[in-house]
Amino acid sequence: MGGVDVGSEGGKKRPTNTEINMVPFIDLLMCTIAFLLITAVWVTNSRINADAQVPGPPSPDPLTIVPPEKVLNVHVGESDFALVWKQGATVVSEVRIPKASQQVGELVQYPDLEKKLAAEWQANANHRDPSDKKLDQAILHTDNRTPFKEIVAVLDALYATKRTVKLEGGDKEVPVFNMTFAAR
């Protein structure tokens, strides 16, 4: 069995070795191991298999591969804009537009970008049907040094193109793009 030497007191030299009873410690260890083994078996039976296909149940054929939707990537450069449609990692089309701005008071506008975005959406959009409530995805790529008023002007150009969506309360004009910023 195990023992503990607690040293000597003051100047007296008397032995203080005592034995520790290891049986309760081993019993505790055995109960803990038994508890872990029993619960590990039952945990796997209480799991629910789920996937993230929303809405509706998963497709009956697990081998059906759904191609990714096309996404518009808008790159703001020093002297131009690049409109790149990508489907997954594949580039579908790419267009460059010179950066020609108009000043309206303090606001900056890009009318050429606005017209080209509308034309590109007509040519490459995923969601054109009025009964389709989803929006096409646009990702804005800018440099950290891009002035805020230019970013706002690009956002205005992105949201300028609209389409009609049929809703329960009637038809509504909505922007064609759901815009997000690229993170580096």
**What class, spelled out in words, does domain 70-181 have in CATH?**
alpha beta
Predicted local distance difference test score (pLDDT) of residue 58: 57
Angle at 179 between CA 80 and CA 69, to 5 degrees: 95
Predicted local distance difference test score (pLDDT) of residue 102: 84
Q: 139 to each of 76, 103, 163, how far by Cα in Å?
A: 11, 25, 19
Those residues with Cβ within 8 angstroms of residue 2's Cβ, 6 or more apart along the chain or in another chain: 19, 20, 22
Those residues with Cβ within 8 angstroms of residue 47's Cβ, 6 or more apart along the chain or in another chain: none
Q: 178 to each of 89, 92, 97, 105, 121, how far by Cα in Å?
A: 19, 19, 21, 28, 12
Query: What tens digit of pLDDT does each residue of 37-47 get?
Result: 887 766 555 55
Would you tell me how many other CB atoms lie within 10 Å of the CB of residue 93? 13
What is the residue extent of each domain of the chain?
Answer: 2-45, 70-181
pTM value?
A: 0.62
Weakly modelled stretches of the chain, pLDDT under 70: 1-16, 41-64, 183-184
In the block, residue with structure tokens 């950290």: 144
Tokens of 64: 């059906």
